């Protein structure tokens, strides 16, 4: 079940840790494996890994911890600004154009967005302060936003 896109599909075993998607016509397989003490799931076509995921334990940061992620962030690549703000329900991202969306913590530095164009934000730190974030999604790689000051 894909929670972000509200999509559900059946998987069928091919081997002990390899599965195919029922009615799969694109030869994509799902591989589950343990690497050290971590668990990993990846989508593969032949020997190519299309995307990879790791098992995580849900993070529940305090309001004070979330406050450290707030600020104004700019992408040179898109020439656009996002504000990360603290709301009653947690962090929200506010683009200059478009609707705000919430950020759900995955771990100390990573947040899910539920947005197809910006699935995951991975925050970077410098000198004890958030310096920016990288956007991760199946569609985008290496899209960076850096913290700026508009005050």
Q: Give tens-digit pLDDT for 79-108.
A: 999 999 999 999 999 998 889 999 999 888
* Torsion of the alpha carbons at 33, 103, 3 and 117, rounded to the nearest 10: -90
Whether the per-residue pLDDT at 32 is higher than 50: the answer is yes
Choice between 30 and 116, residue whose per-residue pLDDT is larger: 30
Distance CA 101, CA 27 (A): 34
Average pLDDT in the 11-23 region? 86
- Rounded to an integer, what distance in angstroms lies between the CA atom of residue 104 and that of residue 125? 19
> How far is it, in rounded angstroms, from Cα 145 to Cα 143?
7
The conformational region for residue 36 under phi > 0 = left, psi -120 to 50 = alpha, else beta, is left
Nearest to 51 by CA among 41, 59, 61: 41
List own/partner pairs for 89-94 with CB under 8 A and 24 or more apart.
90/66, 91/66, 93/118, 93/121
The model's pTM: 0.66
Supply the pLDDT for residue 151.
Answer: 43
What pLDDT digit, counting tens, does each position of 33-63 carry? Answer: 988 888 888 888 888 888 888 776 778 899 9
Specify the DSSP element, H or E, that contains 50.
strand 48-54
CA pair distance 102, 139, nearest whole angstrom: 20
Q: How far is CA 30 from CA 53, 57, 119, in A?
A: 11, 21, 20
How much is the pLDDT for 117? 83
At residue 150, the pLDDT reads: 54
146 within 8 A of 71, measured Cβ to Cβ: no
pLDDT in tens, 101-147: 999 998 889 999 988 888 889 999 999 999 999 998 877 778 999 99
Alpha helices by DSSP H, the chain? 63-67
What residue has token string 């970077």?
124
């Amino acid at each position: 079940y894909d929670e972000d896109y509200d999509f559900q599909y059946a998987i069928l075993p091919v081997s002990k840790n390899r599965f195919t998607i029922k009615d799969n016509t694109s030869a994509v397989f799902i591989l589950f494996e343990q690497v050290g003490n971590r668990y990993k799931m990846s989508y593969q076509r032949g020997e190519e890994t299309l995307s990879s995921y790791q098992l995580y334990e849900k993070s529940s940061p305090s309001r004070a911890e979330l406050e450290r992620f707030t600020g104004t962030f700019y992408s040179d690549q898109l020439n656009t600004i996002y504000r990360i703000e603290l709301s009653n329900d947690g962090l929200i991202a506010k683009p200059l154009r478009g609707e705000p969306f919430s950020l759900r913590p995955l771990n100390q530095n990573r947040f899910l967005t539920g947005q197809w164009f910006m699935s995951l934000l991975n925050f970077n730190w410098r000198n004890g302060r958030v310096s920016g974030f990288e956007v991760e999604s199946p569609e985008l790689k290496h899209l960076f936003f850096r913290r700026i000051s508009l005050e």
